[in-house]
Structure 1
Amino acid sequence: MTDRKPVVLAPHGGRGYEMGRISALFKADGAETGDRYSISEWWLEANTTGPGAHVHEDGDDVFFVLEGTMSFLVGEAWQDAPAGSFILVPAGVRHDFENRRNARAGLLNFSIPGGFEPNMPSIVDWFRENPPGDARPPEV
């Protein structure tokens, strides 16, 4: 038995965070998942940088591109990922994402373990002080 309740959200449902040209919409985290994982949508406007290269030492990041084409840094290499692409970044691997195209792009993110959403107020503040810039053009 679990004391968790089912979560059913309508399209565009969830808890939103605006970061200039980036937005995040959290579907489930914390109490909804027993802190086992976090699920969120991330949307980047055309030609927009992402969060910057970083590493999660304590868990995996899983991405599924919902719309458009995102560019992902995994380890030392950038690669383009069109809608329908799946990316698994194990703990300890450097990664980043950005939208280098001329149309909005979005991805679904699973962070394992959960407990990611409590970081969002400080992430929003960071982006307020460091607004997302223009993404670099695709590498030839």
Structure 2
Amino acid sequence: MSYPEHLEYPEARYHGDKGEVSAVFRRADSPPDISSPGGTTHYLATQESTGGEFGLYKVELGARSPGARTHFHKTMSESFYVLSGELELFNGEKWVTGRAGDFLYVPAGGLHAFRNVTDEPTSMLMLFSPGAPREEYFERVAEMAQRGGEGLRRFRTRHDSYFVEDLESGAE
């Protein structure tokens, strides 16, 4: 394969000449940051730790976990990489079954959803780009869902999560 002589890279963000010590390491056996009956979430790289470049989370869903209903984001893309088990992914048109090694990229504005419909747990990586402060969303979404109503819709909107069910009810 031949490559063009001139390649377009983003503008430089580091302007030093010798590099610097700035890498961040997280051990595989680190405990999850959130645990609930439906699964766990590990904050691998947050908006804060990446300077807003991206957010990377490992999510482990228990058997028959409902995941997230159809929604979209206005400010960020979201990607899913299945590590183990099976994960149902909605790509905006239809549900597809993701298995270990499968990947789904959803650009900003793209409708998507996910769920575990099997009797076995599943594990995935979720990547948000650019990074956003998703931690509060992960930590409070179950509580806010129990409250429901206008408070839930405002919470979702605050976290750039526009659910089709909210839009269909004329809430926006």
TM-score (norm 1): 0.81
1:125 aligns with 2:119: no
Unaligned runs of 5+ in 2: 1-13, 149-172
8 Å contact kept, 1:19–1:127:
no
Alignment partner, residue 41 of structure 1: 58
TM-score (norm 2): 0.67
8 Å contact kept, 1:30–1:117:
no
Work out which of the two has the higher radius of gyration on C-alpha atoms and give 1 or 2: 2
Q: Deviations over 1:49-87 (max 9, x none)?
A: 102211111111011100001000110210001111011
Which residue among 67, 72, 75 is the counterpart of 1:50? 67
Structure 2 counterpart of 1:104, one-letter code: P
Alignment of 1:74-85 (within 5 A): 74-85=91-102
1:27 aligns with 2:44: yes
8 Å contact kept, 2:78–2:108:
yes
Alignment partner, residue 108 of structure 1: 125
More helix by share: 2
Structure 1 counterpart of 2:94, one-letter code: A
Unaligned runs of 5+ in 1: 131-140
Alignment of 1:61-76 (within 5 A): 61-76=78-93
The answer to which structure, 1 or 2, has the higher relative contact order (CA under 8 A, 6+ apart) is: 1
C-alpha displacement at 1:4, in angstroms? 8.5
- Alpha-carbon RMSD across the aligned residues, in angstroms, is 2.3
Q: Percent identity?
A: 23
C-alpha displacement at 1:124, in angstroms? 4.2
Distance 1:51 1:4, change over 3 A: farther
C-alpha displacement at 1:10, in angstroms? 1.1
Aligned residues: 130
In 1, Cα distance between equivalents of 2:32 and 2:86: 24
More strand by share: 1
C-alpha displacement at 1:129, in angstroms? 5.4
Q: Secondary structure at the match of 1:125?
A: helix
Structure 1 counterpart of 2:78, one-letter code: D
